[in-house]
Amino acid sequence: MTYQTEGCLRVGQPAPDFTATAVVDQEFKTIKLSDYRGKYVVLFFYPLDFTFVCPTEITAFSDRFDEFKQLGTEVLGVSVDSEFSHLAWIQTDRKSGGVGDLNYPLVSDIKKEISIAYNVLEPEAGVALRGLFIIDKDGVVQHSTINNLSFGRSVDETLRTLQAIQYVQSHPDEVCPAGWKPGDATMNPDPVKSKNFFAAV
Q: Supply the residues annotated as catalytic.
A: 54
**Cα 146 from Cα 95, distance rounded (Å):** 28
Count CB-CB contacts under 10 A for residue 125: 12
**Cα 178 from Cα 200, distance rounded (Å):** 15
Residue 187 is classified by DSSP as B
Residues in CB range of 51: below 8 A, 6 or more apart? none
**Cα 55 from Cα 53, distance rounded (Å):** 6
β-strand 121-122 against 106-108: which pairing, if any? unpaired
- No. of H helices and E strands in the chain? 6, 10
